[in-house]
Amino acid sequence: MTTGSVTGKLFVDPVKEMGRAVLFLFTALSRMRFGKTQFLETMRQVYFMGVRSLVIIMISGFFVGLVLTLQLYDTLSRFGATEALGTALALSLFRELGPVLTVILFAGRAGTSVTAEIGLMKATEQLDALDLMAIDPMERIVQPRLLAGILAVPALVLVFNVMALLGGVVFSVFMMGIDGPSFWGNIQATVALGRDFMGGMFKAAVFGFLASWLAVYFGWSSKPTGEGVALATTQTVITTAIAVLLTDFILSAFML
């Protein structure tokens, strides 16, 4: 049911899609049930979505920390302000880069596979089979993935931040010979626990929810064909990236 015109493509269709995604979310939330089966299935998904993203998050985190410190060092040394290096690094990581980069990597690594998995389950009638066995696929398939994403992303953001700080320390202290205690002391003195750190973690939780919601939604609504599933995984990555950046701007504007 696409509106043929250009306005339709640019405006009406995305709004319709958003409406469907919201309806889908409400249905999923209203059918949630909590018990041992649901808990174990959620933990399984934490493994598939979180643990399996750990390596890429750790490597990316380390190198982002390394290169970010390098750039900051270069910029700050022009003003003779390299003592602010630790602070600048920690603030940009905690407040922006940690949550945003992690969730975009997460969408590429775990979001796509969730979308493809659900899309394939739909194409091979596995979702129908659950329905026929009087098992609600919303509760058995969607719910654990939704919850696992919300748990896994903040954990991954924390790991990313730790690795990036490590990268920062490696570059500044071991390679540039900056005084370690003062580097770290500056971080401790200026990074606010509530506003900077917890604020960033709040973002991480919101992004985790967004990423897993979009991943399950696009899988659920994909056309049950190879092409449909392929399209859905692409949509997951693109939409998550845009939604996260937009939400990030709104949240940052409110939090500052």
Partner 1 sequence: MNDNKNNNRIELRGVTVQLGDRVVLEGMDLAVPEGKVTAVMGPSGSGKTTVLKAITGQVPISAGEIRVGDVFVNQLSARKLNDMRRNIGMLLQNGALFTDLTSFDNVALPLREHTRLPETLIRKVVLTKLHAVGLRGAAELYPRELSGGMNRRIALARALALDPNIMLYDEPFTGLDPISMGAAVRLIRQINDVLGITSVVVTHDVTEVPRFADYCYIISDRKVVAQGTPAELENIDDGVVHQFIQGLPDGPVPFHYPAPDYTRDLLERH
Partner 2 sequence: MKSSHQIEFTAGLFLLLGIACLIFLAVQATDGGSEIRGGSYELVASFGNVGGLRPRAKVSMAGVTVGQVERIELDPQTLDARVTMKISERYDDIPDDTSAAILTSGILGDQYVGLEPGGSPEPMRDGDQFLITQSAVVLEQLIGRFMMGGGGDEE
In order of 12, 76, 242, 247, the CA distances from 104 in angstroms are 26, 28, 10, 13
Give, as ranges, the residues between 23 and 42 that touch partner 1 (CB under 8 A). 37
**Which residues are within 8 A (CB) of 46 and not within 5 positions of it... i.e. 6 or more apart?**
148, 151, 152
The verdict on 124 binding partner 2 (CB under 8 A) reads no
Closest CB 38 distance from partner 1, rounded Å: 12
Question: By CB under 8 A, which span of 103-111, 157-165, 207-215, 239-247 interacts with partner 2?
Answer: 157-165
- For residue 135, state whether it binds partner 1 (rule: CB under 8 A): yes
Tally of residues, the chain: 256
Spatial distance between the Cα atoms of 25 and 165, rounded to a whole number of angstroms:
36
Structure tokens given for 107: 């969408």
Q: Is residue 226 involved in binding partner 1 (CB under 8 A)?
A: no
Which distant-in-sequence residues (6+ apart) come within 8 Å of 215 by Cβ?
107, 110, 111, 112, 114, 115, 145, 149, 236, 240
For residue 132, state whether it binds partner 1 (rule: CB under 8 A).
yes
CA distances in angstroms from 149 to 16, 38, 111, 237, listed in the order given: 25, 14, 9, 15
In whole angstroms, the minimum distance from the beta carbon of 138 to partner 1 comes to 11
Binding part of the chain for partner 2, among 30-38, 49-57, 99-107, 124-132 by CB under 8 A, reads: 49-57
In this structure, is the dihedral angle defined by the CA atoms of residues 174, 179, 181 and 183, taken in order, positive or negative? negative
Residue in 104, 121, 159, 173 binding partner 2, rule: CB under 8 A: 159
Near partner 2 in 169-228, by CB under 8 A: 184, 187-198, 201
**CA proximity to 243, closest of 201, 206, 193, 189:** 206
Which partner, partner 1, partner 2, none, binds residue 134 by CB below 5 to 8 Å per kind?
A: partner 1
Binding test (CB under 8 A) with partner 1, winner from 7, 71, 128, 238: 128
Contact residues: partner 2, CB under 8 A = 40, 43-44, 46-47, 50-51, 54, 79, 81, 84, 87, 90, 94, 151-152, 154-156, 158-159, 161-162, 165, 184, 187-198, 201
